Amino acid sequence: MNKCPNCLANNSFTKVQKDGSVIEICEYCNTINEVTTATKAIITPENKLKSTDPVDTVVHVVYFFFFVFIFCIIILLLDQ
């Protein structure tokens, strides 16, 4: 089905697994034709880190206690 763009040979590509992705190599001229990239590469690490970022959680806890502290001061001032 695939025609090599370099040597124009028909069905000369052989599927090879390399670095987690499937590539096709022409058996005549060794032209590399990438077929599919593994799902590993598609998943962006940025999205994974957002939900489990420990620094972000610490910042939220610090903000929470800061607001609780301010709230307590306001309550004490109103009580006088």
List of residues contacting Zn ion (CB under 5 A) = 4, 6-7, 26, 28-29, 31
C-alpha span between 22 and 38 (Å, rounded): 8
CB of residue 44 vs Zn ion: minimum separation in angstroms? 34
Query: 21 or 31, CB closer to Zn ion?
Result: 31
* 28/66 with CB nearer Zn ion: 28
Distance (Å) of CA 27 to CA 1, 5, 18, 21, 65: 15, 13, 16, 18, 66
Minimum CB separation of residue 2 from Zn ion in Å reads 10
Q: At CB < 8 A and 24+ separation, what contacts does 74-80 make?
A: none
**Nearer Cβ to Zn ion (28/67):** 28
